């Protein structure tokens, strides 16, 4: 498909809040379009504004409902909101999360809300590649807040958490107790815990267990002064959302007051740059002079005329000259 | 611990078949010793000889028993045998697999057998880093065959499979049927299937299911002409081991006749070199001039004065000048 793309015009229209322009830009970065670099350059001056909030938790804890409730709360404040729904296990190749779409339906016609589902198609480094770039699009499009929703399973979740200024971990009574959360390494990354479906039996026990585990845990992160609060909510009825918002604001203020916000964002950018650089180098191995060198070096190592470390030194030279 | 290491002497003694020298060399590569490069250089001229056979399968299918039976069979032919037991889930930090040690006990005093358990300690890239180097030690020490035994779970297994000339996937009746194997992507990597514990109920059904799934599957690998045989065995009683050996020999001959053996080994070396090169570059990001550049670039991207792709270009330049 050869469709002319006028990147500066797209960026202008995205900044003016046109949903189709925003969607088109995200598609360009998600598909690793040849125009990717041009898009990135055009977006850069308008980024660095949005607060990024990650939401994660096991399937069934009510992530989409909670995300939707938070969207409403931020909209009530008059803020522009972006949502990136990342589901590494989604079988839909285009990444559409039907459940989200349905639940997010109330926001579908709101010009102050951009919702995008992303699947992890795995090309060019998967999540770590496309999601930060989609985030930049929403940031440049004037979103005050971007909510990144992920299924709380494994590596891809941790990658997405690393994008967020504030990470919210959702639990539900009788589903994932505090100990399980601790096992999953989730204590390490959570800034705010929400016990959702708090009208169910066992909500108090879950909250209590969680607080106990938090009191035992040592926080390894730079903001050791922050103890993650545990907030109870019933997102489906919008109960407790004020408390969640208060916790999110408190964490944001904490980061800001300690000068931690720019540090966290610089760390995020560092990871992003490194991933792009290593991917770029890796892709050079398949083609041109570096590719030829890689093939020759592999043969030498396979036949024992060269050791792999010396070969790696030669490969680095070939990659970079 | 500062212990003088005379690498050339160690290599000489390993080549003479001294188990302690072999063990010491593997420790040096496994611990990413500063002498790693020297060890790799000293080993290179003596590598490229060993046949590498990967064995994988779910816990309980009898991997260690089968490995032990194969060790015996190769020893009966007068060949020198190495065993690398890799268990990514092993809780023993030193990587000792007690079960293996006990079952391998019969070979413990055989000077023609080297057995090494490796845990995936995850430093410097984990499995993909240390196992190929340990393999080189056993190869240089004169092993005709190296058996690499892994638990058939997830990514690390696939990494280890990529080391092997021939990959054996073990199943047992009523444990992992053909469909499960296909799901796990194991059909893609298996060159030989062994239905172990074939004296149990359901062995014929498992073998039949497996053959059916194989007949449906398309082989993506270069050796599309090879259809993986399904062999039944009772490794604990050494029944069917002759058939397994015949299947291994047939696959080896197939690879050799098609010129696939050097290609497979070159591909393996290419992956190994690439992993070392990217790790080397990544480690440079933390220190010196490249580290300083990385920090500065991250700040510029975080504040929107630079886009991440241009930053990555600068980073590559900083890494390589």
**Any idea what the CATH number is for the domain that residue A225 is in?**
3.40.50.300
Dig out the tokens for B209 from the structure. 């299911």
The DSSP bridge partners found for residue A116 are A84
Residue A215: exposure state from Cβ atoms within 10 A (0-12, 13-18, ≥19): exposed
Dig out the tokens for B230 from the structure. 């399904």
B204, B76: one domain: yes
Interchain contact B285–A (C-beta under 8 A)? yes
Minimum-distance CB partner of A46 among B270, B281, B304: B304
pLDDT at residue B240, as a whole number? 97
CA separation for the pair B305, B77 (Å, rounded):
68
B17 domain-assigned: no
Interchain contact A283–B (C-beta under 8 A)? no
Strand-by-strand arrangement of the B81-87 sheet = B113-119, B81-87, B145-151, B51-57, B166-171, B192-195, B230-232
Report chain A residues whose CB lies below 8 A from the CB of B273.
Answer: 294, 297-298, 301, 308, 311-312, 315
> Which residue, among A304, A314, A319, would best test binding to B if mutated, counting the most B CBs under 10 Å from its CB?
A304
**Nearest of A156, A81, A88 to residue A113 by alpha carbon:** A81
CA separation for the pair B44, A302 (Å, rounded):
9
A227, A304: one domain: no
pLDDT digits (tens, 9 = 90+) for B164-204: 999 998 888 876 554 455 555 666 778 999 999 999 998 99
B150, B291: one domain: no
Report chain B residues whose CB lies below 8 A from the CB of A320.
Answer: 316, 319-321
Could you tell me which residues come within 8 angstroms of residue B223 by beta carbon, excluding any fewer than 6 positions away? B254, B255, B258, B260
pLDDT at residue B209, as a whole number? 83
B108 domain-assigned: yes
Q: How far is B180 from chain A (nearest CA, A)?
A: 18
A175, A290: one domain: no
B122, B208: one domain: yes
- Counting the structural domains of chain A, the total is 2
A184, A308: one domain: no
- What kind and span of H or E run contains B321? none
| Domain edge (last residue) among B206, B238, B257 | B257
Q: CA dist A35 to A40, A130, A208, A209, A268, Å?
A: 9, 14, 51, 50, 23
Interchain contact A46–B (C-beta under 8 A)? yes
B272 domain-assigned: no
B129, B90: one domain: yes
Nearest chain B residue to A133, by CA: B308
DSSP-derived secondary structure for B204-252: HHHHHHHHHHHHHPPP-SS-TTPPPPEEE-BGGGTBTHHHHHHHHHHHH
Inter-chain residue contact B266 with A298, CB threshold 8 Å: yes
A265 domain-assigned: no
Are B153 and B121 contacting, i.e. CB atoms less than 8 angstroms apart? no
pLDDT at residue A52, as a whole number? 95
A126 domain-assigned: yes
Minimum-distance CB partner of A311 among B273, B309, B316: B273
B250, B302: one domain: no
Interchain contact B319–A (C-beta under 8 A)? yes
Inter-chain residue contact A294 with B270, CB threshold 8 Å: yes
- What kind and span of H or E run contains B16? none
Interchain contact A273–B (C-beta under 8 A)? yes
Minimum-distance CB partner of A308 among B269, B294, B309: B269
B24 domain-assigned: no
Minimum-distance CB partner of B276 among A37, A278, A309: A309
Inter-chain residue contact B274 with A315, CB threshold 8 Å: yes
**Nearest of B50, B55, B98 to residue B241 by alpha carbon:** B55
Strand-by-strand arrangement of the A145-151 sheet = A113-119, A81-87, A145-151, A51-57, A166-171, A192-195, A230-232
Q: Cα Rg for chain B, rounded, in angstroms? A: 22
Structural domain containing residue B176: 47-257
- What kind and span of H or E run contains B56? strand B51-57
Minimum-distance CB partner of B282 among A278, A294, A305: A278
CA separation for the pair B146, B167 (Å, rounded):
12
pLDDT at residue B186, as a whole number? 65
CA separation for the pair B68, B66 (Å, rounded):
5
pLDDT digits (tens, 9 = 90+) for A8-17: 999 999 999 8
Interchain contact A43–B (C-beta under 8 A)? yes
Per-residue pLDDT of chain B (321 residues; tens, 9 = 90+): 446 789 999 999 999 988 889 999 998 888 777 888 899 999 999 998 999 999 888 777 888 889 999 999 999 999 999 998 876 544 332 333 333 444 456 676 777 888 887 765 443 344 556 788 899 999 999 999 999 988 665 444 555 667 899 999 888 887 655 445 555 566 677 899 999 999 999 899 889 888 887 887 655 554 568 889 999 999 999 999 999 999 999 999 999 999 999 988 998 899 889 888 888 888 888 778 888 899 999 999 999 999 999 999 999 888 877
B292, B206: one domain: no
A113, A215: one domain: yes
Dig out the tokens for A132 from the structure. 């930060």
A252, A292: one domain: no
Q: CA dist B87 to A155, B126, B133, B211, B215, Å?
A: 20, 11, 16, 28, 31
A278 domain-assigned: no
**Nearest of A200, A101, A203, A217 to residue A149 by alpha carbon:** A101
Per-residue pLDDT of chain A (321 residues; tens, 9 = 90+): 446 789 999 999 999 988 889 999 998 888 777 888 899 999 999 998 999 999 888 777 888 889 999 999 999 999 999 998 876 544 332 333 333 444 456 676 777 888 887 765 443 344 556 788 899 999 999 999 999 988 655 444 555 667 899 999 888 887 655 445 555 566 677 899 999 999 999 899 889 888 887 887 655 554 568 889 999 999 999 999 999 999 999 999 999 999 999 988 998 899 889 888 888 888 888 778 888 899 999 999 999 999 999 999 999 888 877
CA diameter of chain A? 70
B120, B238: one domain: yes
B99 domain-assigned: yes
CA separation for the pair B257, B251 (Å, rounded):
10
């Amino acid at each position: 498909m050869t469709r002319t793309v006028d990147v500066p015009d797209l960026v202008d229209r995205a900044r003016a809040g046109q949903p189709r322009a925003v969607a088109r830009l995200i598609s360009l970065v998600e598909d690793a379009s040849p125009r990717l670099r041009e898009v990135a350059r055009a977006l850069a001056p308008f980024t660095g504004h949005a607060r990024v909030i990650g939401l994660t938790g096991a399937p069934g804890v009510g992530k989409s409902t909670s995300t939707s409730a938070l969207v409403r709360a931020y909209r009530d404040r008059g803020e522009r909101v972006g949502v990136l729904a990342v589901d590494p296990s989604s079988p839909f190749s285009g990444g559409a999360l039907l459940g989200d779409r349905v639940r997010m339906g109330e926001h579908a016609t709101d010009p102050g809300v951009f919702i995008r589902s992303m699947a992890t198609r795995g090309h060019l480094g998967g999540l770590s590649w496309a999601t930060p770039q989609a985030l930049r699009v929403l940031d440049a499009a004037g979103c005050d807040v971007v909510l990144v929703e992920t299924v709380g399973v494994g590596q891809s979740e941790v990658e997405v958490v690393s994008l967020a200024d504030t990470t919210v971990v959702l639990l539900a009574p009788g589903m994932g107790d505090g100990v399980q959360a601790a096992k999953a390494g989730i204590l390490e990354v959570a800034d705010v815990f929400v016990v959702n479906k708090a009208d169910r039996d066992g909500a108090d026990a879950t909250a209590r267990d969680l607080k106990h585990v938090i009191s035992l845990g040592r926080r390894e992160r730079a903001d050791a002064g922050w103890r993650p609060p545990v907030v109870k909510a019933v997102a489906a009825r919008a109960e407790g959302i004020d408390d969640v918002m208060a916790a999110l604001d408190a964490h944001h203020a904490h980061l800001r007051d300690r000068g931690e916000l720019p540090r966290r964002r610089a760390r995020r950018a560092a990871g992003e740059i490194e991933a792009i650089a290593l991917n770029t180098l890796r892709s050079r191995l398949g083609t041109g002079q570096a590719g030829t060198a890689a093939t020759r070096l592999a043969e030498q190592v396979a036949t024992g005329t060269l050791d792999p470390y010396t070969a790696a030194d030669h490969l680095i030279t070939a990659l970079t000259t």
